[in-house]
Amino acid sequence: MERITRINLPTVDSTNDFIREMIEAERTGQVMSVHSLPGLTLVVADDQTAGRGQRGNTWETEKGKNLMFSLLCHPDFVKPAEQFILSQCMAVAIQEALSRYVSDVQVKWPNDIYVGDKKVSGTLIECDLQGKGISNCIIGVGINVNQTEFRSDAPNPTSLRLLTGQEHDREAILLEVIRGFQVYYEMVREGKAEEVRRLYLSCLYRRKGFHRYSDVRGEFIAEIADVEPTGHLLLRFEGGREVRYELKEVRFIMD
């Protein structure tokens, strides 16, 4: 497995932004190249003041209670059109790690982690393309571990502590997630992306049955037919018609 260089921060606005600033400083010649760091670069923060999520949302967190980290990798072996496999690697790694502590852990497309109908983790991935490859991939993750009160208007947050009634070791969970990601990242490097994709589909939220969704035309009932290698969600309507959706084109309506 690739070596990991770790950076621990007491407080940061965003771990993704911290890595982005490292890359920009490299580009302008202010610091050593992040590419000169062997393997993966992991940035972990004890407090994050401006964490970002999908759709421009913020990520609420209480200092010292949760996991906030970003992982920088250089997956030049992944085609840009297939970069969603990196999201799947991290999603499956988190799902498996949290499943050691609580049951019914699932991946809500594209990469949120749910326990039942409650969100316990979110991921934001940003890739830089260079030529026909991916030069940088920043994977930012937030996992609610020991927080018990959520004050934002997020509709359905939860944490491991709320789910289990006990505190958990954040460092142990972090190491389990990173080890899992390394395993799946290497599988992709070895040409086994389809195996990772199958694992992702097997733990997908709403992978069976018809449920409520909405798009620009309004609310409808459909079932998940597939998540394509490009990351598109393929929904099948009750009459058999299938429609492909990008991230911001469809919304899950909670039952």
Name the region of 217 (left: φ>0; alpha: ψ -120 to 50; beta: rest): alpha
Structural tokens at position 102: 């609580």
CA-nearest of 124, 114, 123 to 156 is 114
List, edge to edge, every strand of the sheet that includes 105-108.
4-12, 40-48, 67-73, 133-143, 118-130, 112-115, 105-108
Structure confidence at residue 55 (pLDDT): 47
Dihedrals φ, ψ of 113, to 5°? -110, 125
Structure confidence at residue 161 (pLDDT): 97
**Radius of gyration in angstroms for the set of CA atoms belonging to the chain, rounded to a whole number:** 18
CA-nearest of 116, 117, 136 to 126 is 136
How many whole angstroms separate alpha carbon 149 and alpha carbon 74?
Answer: 37
Structure confidence at residue 79 (pLDDT): 94
How many whole angstroms separate alpha carbon 218 and alpha carbon 211?
Answer: 14
Q: Domains plus CATH for the chain?
A: 4-202 (3.30.930.10), 211-252 (2.30.30)
CA-nearest of 128, 121, 111, 133 to 233 is 111
| In contact, 91 and 181? CB cutoff 8 Å | no
One digit per residue, pLDDT tens: the chain, 255 residues?
788 999 999 999 999 999 999 888 877 766 555 544 558 999 999 988 875 554 455 556 788 999 999 999 999 999 999 999 999 999 999 999 999 999 999 999 999 999 999 999 999 999 999 888 899 999 999 999 999 998 876 679 999 999 999 999 999 999 999 999 999 999 999 999 999 999 999 999 999 999 999 999 999 999 999 999 999 999 999 999 999 999 999 999 987
- Tell me the pTM: 0.92
Decide the pairing of beta strands 4-12 and 40-48.
Answer: parallel
How many whole angstroms separate alpha carbon 88 and alpha carbon 241?
Answer: 26
How many whole angstroms separate alpha carbon 199 and alpha carbon 195?
Answer: 6
How many whole angstroms separate alpha carbon 198 and alpha carbon 73?
Answer: 23
Decide the pairing of beta strands 133-143 and 242-245.
Answer: unpaired
| Sequence-ordered list of residues with C-beta below 8 angstroms from that of 169, at least 6 positions apart, any chain | none
